[in-house]
Amino acid sequence: MISARPFRKLPALIAAALLMLTSAAIAGDHLLPEDPALSDENDFDGILYGVFKDLYTPDYPARMIAVQSFQREFAVALHVKDGRYSIVLLDPPTMLWGYQVLADDIRQRDQDLAAGRDARADVKEIADLEVGMPSPDWRTVKPARCERPIDAALGAQLVEDWRAMLLQTRFAQPEPVASESVFVDGDILHFSTWGGGMAGQITTPSNDGGDKTNLLIAIGFAMRDYCKTGDAKQRATIVQAAADLAARLKQDG
Amino acid sequence: MLKQTVLCAALLCAATARAAPPGCPMRDHLVPEGSVFAMGDDSYLKWGYDKAFAPFLQTDVMVRMIAAPAFSDRYAVGLRETSGGYTVFGLSLGRAGKPSVHCEAAIAKPLGQSLVAAWRVVLLGTRFSDDVAMGLDGIEVHFSMRENFEQPPGQMQTQFLYGQVWTPNRGSPPDRLLGLADDLQNYCVTHDRAGLPGIAKAAVALARSH
């Protein structure tokens, strides 16, 4: 198993995944737009989508993918069919970030070989990574699935909370300066809904994250915990946070 | 490509059971670019992307626009900062994906700064909308830029701004930015400086419109 996110690779990815991460780190009380698919650089987004793609159908109107430092990623979503709502959790058996690092190492090995450089260190890194993986191909990763019903009123509230928060997605508006960024470690949460193709992200802890984003994050994590345990306290947390978020959104008009 | 975009928009309308009429609010502002997380499979999201446009997506490009009109060549225009000012560069792609026009021209620093400010104002208005714009033809336009800032004090950050619009409403901020980019492209091709004062005036007005 990969025990920790190998951040030594981050400099090589600074023009890729970190474009998204650094943007996400500056959000206020709203989500930020996702990294555009027009870029060829968002490999990790593609891995996340590939592993969790079962949740990308019209019967999942609210979903959150959590990318946490040193922990396995997971996706939690609201499922609705024939008016019945449930929470679905997809929990992969391994840290998906390892596949991004593996792809980066393979790319580096190929570049070294093409340039006639010594690639033995790359080959060893690749072998070490693959030993800790259930399979060297992320496409074969099968996340564990859990599903737990919730009542329609709560389900409808969550759909509306997601929709309202995603409609508020926008860029931050700081004063620009002439200097380069430095990435600060953090967890990234990707929120999306089916209707309208809306998606937004935020990094936590955000520098000035507000009540609404914190409530949305809390709902996502409580959904995961409730799906896993069925604990009534977790369900109560979802209900309370969903109601609080709706109230805050109503204040915004 | 645009037909596929329209198909996509139609699918979105089907999903939301809501289609916006011409002049709908969505076309008054940019919307976030399609992302893997929004739409799932990203293969269709890369229709407009051609490797010939890769130089426009490099990080040394201050601002850029890539446009795909329904019945004419796709084209792009970008701005790079140089030691003395800025350089405008542009590219048009013929039907076969071969560059038909490739241009480059210098502009003064104040004009470059005004253009960057204009891009920023329009991009900061990027947001989703309840409405979905759709139609049979038109123009698909992608704007983007990067900026650095300090928040909180002592911590440097970089933000990448992206937004797209389909056939912007006449006189709307995206429409005005599209007009500016087209004028820049024209200057890039012709090197006719007579149009520069008008570009500068329009850029300053747009930058101050927020």
B39-90 pLDDT, tens digit per residue, is 655 554 555 567 788 888 887 899 999 998 988 888 999 999 888 899 999 9
Number of neighbours of residue B7 by Cβ within 10 angstroms: 12
- Residue where the block lists tokens 């198993």: A1
**Rounded Cα–Cα distance for residues A48 and B38 (Å):** 12
How many CA atoms within 13 Å lie on the side-chain side of B163? 32
**Nearest of B35, B31, B79, B164 to residue A39 by alpha carbon:** B35
CB contact under 8 A, B34 and A45: no
Residue A205, preceding peptide bond in cis (omega within 30° of 0)? yes
Q: Which residues contact A4 (CB under 8 A, 6 or more apart)?
A: A70
Is B53 within 8 Å of B65 (Cβ atoms)?
no
Do residue B126 and residue A192 have CB atoms under 8 angstroms apart? no
3-class SS of residue A143: coil
- Cβ–Cβ below 8 Å for A172 and B159: yes
Between CA B141 and CA A186, with CA A171 as vertex, the angle to 5 degrees is: 125
Write down the pLDDT at residue A30. Answer: 87
Apex A129 CA angle, A125 and A134, nearest 5: 160
**Alpha-carbon span B169 to B129, nearest angstrom:** 15
Q: B17 or B71, which is more confident?
A: B71
Alpha carbons A133 and A192: distance in angstroms, whole number: 28
**ipTM score for this prediction:** 0.77
Residue B31 phi, psi dihedral angles, 5° rounding = -120, 155
Least Cα distance to A222 among A198, A241, A245 occurs for A241
Residue B4: is its pLDDT beyond 60? no
User: Are B150 and A177 inside 8 Å of each other by CB?
Assistant: yes
Provide the angle, in degrees to the nearest 10, between the axes of the packed helices B109-124 and B196-207. 40
Task: Place A39 in a pLDDT band, splitting at 50, 70 and 90.
Answer: low
Output the pTM of the full model.
0.81
Instruction: Answer yes or no: do A178 and B130 touch at CB < 8 A.
Output: no
Interface contact A37-B12, CB threshold 8 A: no
**Chain A 40-69, CB below 8 Å of chain B: which residues?**
40, 42, 45-46, 48-49, 53, 56, 58, 65
Buried b (16+ CB within 10 A) or exposed e, B179-201: bbbebbbbbbbeeeeeebeebbe
pLDDT tier at A206, thresholds 50, 70, 90: low
A73 touches chain B (CB under 8 A): no
Give how far A117 is from chain B: nearest CA, Å. Answer: 27
**pLDDT, position A196:** 66
B204 touches B114 (CB < 8 A): yes
| Residue of chain B nearest A17, judged by CA positions | B160
Helix A43-52 to helix A17-24 angle (10° resolution) is: 80
Structural tokens at position A97: 């970030």
Q: Which of B88, B95, B45, B119 is nearest to B185 (CA)?
A: B88
Which residue does chain A place closest to B132, by CA atoms? A196
The letter for the amino acid at B2 is L
Across the interface, do A36 and B156 touch by the CB < 8 Å criterion?
no
What are the structure tokens assigned to A144, written together?
């564990």
- Rounded Cα distance between A172 and A192, Å, is 19
Determine contact, residues A65/A75, Cβ cutoff 8 Å.
Answer: yes
**Amino acid identity, position B124:** L
* Higher pLDDT among residues B24 and B26, named by residue: B26
**HEC-encoded secondary structure of B124-178:** HCCCCCCCCCCCCCCEEEEEEEEEEEECCCCCEEEEEEEEEEECCCCCCHHHHHH
Both tokens of A91, joined, read 């929990």
- Cβ B35–A15 below 8 Å, yes or no? no
With a CB-CB cutoff of 8 Å, which residues 160-179 of chain A face chain B? 166-179
**In chain A, what residues touch B156 (CB-CB under 8 Å)?**
177, 179-182
**A173/B155 Cβ within 8 A:** no
CA distances, A114 to each of A12, A24, A41, A122 (Å): 18, 36, 21, 13
| Chain centroid offset of residue A247 CA | 25
Q: What is the pLDDT of residues B153-168, one digit of tens each?
A: 777 777 789 998 999 9
* DSSP assignment letter at A25: T
**Chain A residues within an 8 Å CB radius of B41:** 49, 53
Question: What single-letter DSSP state applies at residue A139?
Answer: G
Choose the weakest-confidence range: A165-169, A198-202, B51-55.
Answer: B51-55
**Percentage above 70 pLDDT, chain A:** 79
Nearest CA in chain A to B126: A170
Cβ contacts (< 8 Å) between A20 and chain B: which residues? 160
* A62-67/A187-192 β-pairing: antiparallel
Distance (Å, whole) CA B53 – CA B97: 10
Across chain A, what does the average pLDDT equal?
82
pLDDT digits 0-9 by tens, B96-132 = 767 778 999 999 999 999 999 999 999 999 999 877 6
Q: How far apart are CA A178 and CA A246, in angstroms?
A: 39
With contact defined as beta carbons under 8 Å apart, do A43 and A103 qualify?
A: yes
Judged by average pLDDT, the poorest of A5-14, B146-155, B174-183, B194-203 is A5-14
Please tell me which of the candidates B15, B34, B156 has its beta carbon nearest to residue A181. B156
Q: Testing the interface with B: which of A21, A39, A53 to mutate, by most B Cβ within 10 A?
A: A39
| Averaged pLDDT, A134-161 | 95
Residue closest to B166 by CA, chosen among B129, B132, B143, B141: B141
Bridge partners (DSSP) listed for residue B102 = B91
Contact at CB, A37 and B36, closer than 8 angstroms: yes
